[in-house]
């Protein structure tokens, strides 16, 4: 390991408005051969929180709602801080990030049991998208108000 990486710690996140919390048990089938939750599974956990939030605000992610415009994932970054091992109870929280003209950030934290320190952090860039024309649109004011 290089000297730069040995002591490297990710910066503390400047989490914005809390949007939604979900709690669920870790399932045995989510483990991999290394004995911890498979890395790809965290993206599913975080996707489920975004999907639940979209349903909560009346913008479900399905073909009918996407007929005109809606959200599309541009970028996903996941930082794994600690392994998660079955059995465990997980909490995923979704937070708002920075809102731009046509995009906004979302952050997820995943904690296990009573441990307040995240086992995993997700950072996402979402673009408001015109599906018919294949182009970004300005984030609607009603969405902006939910994020700031």
CA distances from 68 to 92, 93, 99, 104, 125 (A): 30, 29, 21, 19, 20
What is the tens place of the pLDDT at every residue in 73-92? 999 999 999 999 999 999 99
**73 touches 128 (CB < 8 A):** no
Residue spans of alpha helices (H) in the chain:
3-6, 39-56, 141-147
Domain 16-147: give its CATH superfamily. Hotdog Thioesterase (3.10.129.10)
**Residue 61: phi, psi to the nearest 5?**
-90, 85
Q: Are 132 and 140 in contact (CB under 8 A)?
A: no
Residue-wise pLDDT tens digits, 18-35: 999 999 999 999 999 999
Q: What is the pTM of this model?
A: 0.88
How would residue 5 be classed by pLDDT, with cut points 50, 70 and 90?
A: very low
Q: How confident is the model at residue 15 (pLDDT cuts 50, 70, 90)?
A: confident
In the chain, domain spans:
16-147
């Amino acid at each position: 390991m290089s000297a730069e990486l040995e002591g490297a710690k990710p910066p503390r996140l400047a989490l914005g408005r809390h949007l939604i919390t979900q709690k669920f048990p870790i399932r045995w089938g989510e483990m991999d051969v290394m004995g911890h939750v498979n890395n790809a599974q965290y993206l599913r956990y975080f996707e489920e929180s975004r999907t639940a939030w979209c349903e909560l605000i009346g913008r479900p992610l399905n073909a009918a709602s996407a007929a005109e415009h809606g959200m599309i994932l541009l970028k996903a970054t996941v930082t794994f801080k600690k392994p998660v091992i079955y059995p465990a109870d997980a909490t995923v929280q979704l937070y708002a990030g920075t809102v731009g003209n046509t995009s906004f950030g979302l952050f997820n934290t995943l904690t296990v049991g009573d441990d307040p320190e995240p086992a995993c952090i997700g950072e996402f860039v979402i673009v408001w998208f015109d599906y018919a024309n294949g182009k970004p649109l300005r984030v609607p004011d009603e969405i902006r108000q939910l994020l700031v």
